[in-house]
Amino acid sequence: MKLKIIFAAVIVLFAFSCGTPKIVATTPVAPVASTVSSSAAEVKVTELAPELVKGKSLYEKNCAGCHKLFQPKTFTKEEWKPILVKMQKFTNLEDAEMVFVSNYIDSQL
């Protein structure tokens, strides 16, 4: 008896799964012209001041040794202050060198 019920259920499922596919009418999509103004497409590349280059170099060399480098915009200026104080303890950076790092990060915000 159970075998007949299972067999009937399989037949019913098979019959419904073999139904005709539904046809969905599609409308052709007209190509859209991309309009980007030349001023928005231009990327301004600015050179960093020598002090900021030094700060960037110190940041990359001393921070990447232990963890990934966070983009300066990841945190606010106020959030960076305690992070830099805490992380300085794990480096050999002097306070004067940390000023370069802090100034670099602040310049990128």
37-85 pLDDT, tens digit each: 555 556 555 677 888 899 999 989 988 888 888 888 989 999 999 999 9
Domain residue limits, the chain: 51-107
Q: pLDDT per residue over 69-80, tens digit each?
A: 888 898 999 999
Name the nearest CA neighbour of 56 among 100, 109, 92.
100
The pLDDT, as a whole number, for residue 79 is 92
Could you give the CA distance from residue 48 to residue 86 in angstroms, rounded to a whole number? 26
